[in-house]
Structure 1
Amino acid sequence: MTMRDLIPWGRNQQTTPSRYREDSDPFMTLHREMNRLFDDVFRGFDMAPLGGMSRMTGWPQVEVVDNDKDVRISAELPGLEDEDVEVLMGDGVLTIRGEKKSEIEDKERAFSERHYGLFERRIPLAWDVEEDKIDASFRNGVLTVTLPKAAGSPPGVKRIPINRAGDETKH
């Protein structure tokens, strides 16, 4: 058997369009199905396979507004109601989580680019806030959380000196 026998087309033969060749090739069909399966598996994570961009990265998408007296975080949650969402605050991290449920049965769905299921977004805060005065409201698919800043607690930035090699001081 020569190398030419392994190639399904040659220089002198008319080539068929690639879509017809792929449909009859079991390896291309397997390749397509494996790609689809991996895409489906990684869709639920905040990453896409092999460094691609995922539509779910950072969902829900947020906007942070910082002024002198408070921090306001708004999250877009289209198709959800306030009872579908939970807001938690602890250890300097604001957590927004919930579940987006499908409106129809899977057997009725022919195709969908919408995402359903559990979600969670954790937002670390650089400010000390008055946790007992945090307010959350939900209107037109937008969750707005207002976090009043604690008095006299600007976010501290500390400069760390860098020691040169050989200049380490012994403590």
Structure 2
Amino acid sequence: MRRNRAPVPWGGAWPARTWDPFTEFQQLWDQMGRLFEQSAETDIAGWRPLAETEETPEAYVVRTELPGLRREDVNVEVNGNELCISGEIKEEEKDKGNMLRRRTGKFVYRTILPTDADPEKIDGELHDGVLTLRVPKTERGRSRRIQIKG
């Protein structure tokens, strides 16, 4: 008698798919991680801006959304291999009741730089509310093609 059949879903109102406890555990683990990250950051600052990172062959690029900020309002620091972007968005003065509702208060974004990043040569630009930081890779960290002989 063969016993290696696929599970047959029950009919009726019962869920037609099988339960995978590992998928649910992974989702719960991810949610808990996000919750702890947010709570740790809000102790230091009020909120964390949206950011994305990208790797190119020559550098790492970090883009952070900071609408309405000027260069003077943003602080970028490197401490060891940690990159920290911080600042504060102040509440706007009410002008005839036409005030935009947006997030205000202190913010911070932190990330760990890879070991092949060169923190001495970071350059940044704030344009149209997006802060773009370019962290070049060291010569040792860049990939190169190896010529095979023979």
Which residue is 1:68 aligned to? 57
Match of 1:148 among 136, 139, 145: 136
Structure-2-length-normalised TM-score: 0.57
Equivalent-residue separation in structure 2 for 1:114 and 1:102 (angstroms): 9
Deviates more, 1:61-70 or 1:123-132: 123-132
Structure 1 unmatched ranges of 5 or more: 1-42, 48-55, 155-171
8 Å CA contact 2:47, 2:107 repeated in 1: no
Task: State the 1:57 CA deviation.
Answer: 9.4
TM normalised by structure 1 equals: 0.50
Give the Å deviation of 1:112.
8.1
Determine if contact 2:41/2:108 at 8 Å carries over to the other structure. Answer: no
Unpaired segments of 5 or more residues in structure 2? 1-37, 143-150
Tell me if structure 1 keeps the 8 A contact 2:76–2:83. Answer: yes
The one-letter code sitting in structure 1 at the alignment partner of 2:81 is G
Question: Percent same amino acid at aligned positions?
Answer: 32
Instruction: Provide closer, same or farther for how the CA distance between residues 44 and 118 of structure 1 changes in structure 2, counting only shifts above 3 A.
Output: farther
The residue that corresponds to 2:75 in the other structure is: 86
Contact 1:92 1:128 in 2 (8 A): no
RCO higher in structure (CA 8 A, sep ≥6): 2
Instruction: State how far apart, in whole Å, the 1-side matches of 2:135 and 2:120 are.
Output: 9
* Structure 2 SS opposite 1:132: helix
The more displaced of 70-79 and 117-126 is: 117-126
Q: Which residue of 1 aligns with 2:15?
A: none
**Which is higher, the Rg of structure 1 or of structure 2?**
1
Deviation at 1:58, TM superposition (A): 6.8
Q: Count residues with an aligned counterpart.
A: 101
